[in-house]
Structure 1
Amino acid sequence: MILPLLLILASLLQHDGSDAESSHVSKFHLPSIKEQNGVQDSHQEKVITVSGEGMIHSPDFPHTYPRNTALVWRLVASSNMKIQLTFDQRFGLEDPEDGICKYDFVEIEDEKTLLGRWCGSQSAPSTLVSKGSQISVRFVSDEYFPSEPGFCIRYSLLPASVSEPGVPAAAAAAAAPTSLQEMEELSEAVEELGTVEEVLQFLEPERWQLDMEELYKPTWHVLGKSFIHNKKARGADLNLLREEVRLYSCTPRNFSVSLREELKRTDAIFWPSCLLVKRCGGNCACCSHRCFDCQCVPLRVTKKYHEVLLLKHRSGARGLQKSLTDVPLEHHEECSCVCKDDWD
């Protein structure tokens, strides 16, 4: 009689222990995923079907957003509609470094094309209209210096038959652009001009000479960073045959880059619009025969400053602000062929 009772008691204790272990695993090893205004993994997306008006915003807007956040929204409308985005005037993220949004930013992509990246307190575009029926918004914050109020974007629908507003060249010269499309058109017009004088005369026909005087008027910084950071020549002791091969192998060589794309600045126009930089290029024929995927990679990268003409919307005023500014660009000073497996 006692032995059956003991077997029943042992069975009950084992069952209770299994329940406790199961509850423990559920609580600590299988946490529930809480979605907060988007997704936490930048490789995923929150898909929003746009059927009317709505908004997306940084967490806790208009208060300080959290650190270490990556939120992605993909807005999808029906095929006969476009999506219009309107930024709230309250906008503030962590400041850029050297004019580049590296840390906290919001960016918009349309049909695999990056329309812009914004951070700090720089003016975000008033409105954007998608080319098709989809558009993506991505927000990233790192582990330092969260700011406020963050950002808020309202979205709405437009018929696909509605054409995007255009601005003739004469009108663009007379008034500051108010949308990304107008900025793009003005940038293309300025890019075709050959001298600084032509740029200023195009923008302000009546006062371009005065603008020239003000542009080159001495200021407190007199010499920009582009004059301070001098290039240092490097010599190489190579024989003629090796030198001829080196010219076609993995070496730093001249590439032209678009400043607006390189700096991700869609809120400004640069002249010249493109500059030459040293970037690694060439083949890796002399790489080890044991390597199946040899790549030309930079071993030494330096930042150099280039003085250019900057044209930017003057907040609350008519016309464009014109100034000489230094822009930082990365130059590759040393390159090498590296086996991809070793590099990874």
Structure 2
Amino acid sequence: NDLFGLVQKCSNKPLFSPSLCSVGVHESQHEKVLSVTGDGIIQSPDFPNTYPRNTVIVWRLVAVTESSRIQLTFDPRFGLEDAEDGVCKYDYVEVEEPVGGMVLGRWCGSEMVPGPQVSKGNQILIRFVSDEYFPSDPGFCIRYSLLQQHEAPAVMPAWMQNVDALSEAVAGFSTMEEVMKYLEPDRWQVDMDDLYKPTWQVVGKSFFHQKKSRVVDLNLLREEVRLYSCTPRNFSVSLREELKRTDAIFWPSCLLVKRCGGNCACCSHNCYDCQCSPTKVAKKYHEVLMLKHRAGGRRLQKTLTDVPLEHHEECSCVCKNDSD
């Protein structure tokens, strides 16, 4: 069997068809790169039978266009070596965003089939790892597909929008340049220069020439507000409370995590209840000392273990429904 598993081009075949072929594949030294133009399948070697030991396989799926997104759907038949203390340490399949290295999920065992995963960009990584002990079956099988892309709706010219709609649109831009491009796409640079042209001030019969300079950086003013608004920031959490573990003691007992915080004063004008909420969440593993009482013993069991903690990587002010 191919170490990198099997790939199926199955645009006109049913989900998880046993007939497989390899299409649009480029192998590199460290990973297998697949050009995604339709539906296909990735699976652990020998699926649905026991996968081999000591195996590391990485697939990089690349959609044909930058605007495309890739969806992953797991076959209900799923089984890898069980987790230890709730952490997939030994045999697992992992899905990762190539840009930024954010892990969308890591799975093992057989009690729960992973849910669908969708890429943020036009690429996504799938990593399969097995160690030298206790291989399981059936392994895993993942169907990948391109999400349908819809054309962007036509944007009404800025001068035709009412004050409320224009205010909300302008508030979403990060720089003054973006604002000017939105207002006047064909002449935004001219408008930018006009803002800082010299002006004449009349005092009595004299004319004073005043040259405007870019002393005030509006981009910087906006960035300062953003830094103190709804953003990820450090919070300390108690491991026993966070993990809901009453049977163990951890050292350190608290760890720092990134969680959303700050106000939402600049939320949409028509929002009744605006809250700072996470829009990108990652599960990260931290190695700590865990102490547990031995059954019938006088000594404590001491082990180094990985504990999963939720980190908020991106935050946004979200308008909650008034009826919630």
TM-score over 0.5 (shorter chain): no
- Identify the TM-score tier after normalising by the shorter chain: 0.3 to 0.5
Q: TM-score, normalised by structure 1?
A: 0.40
Structure with greater helix percent: 1
Q: TM-score, normalised by structure 2?
A: 0.43
Structure with greater strand percent: 2
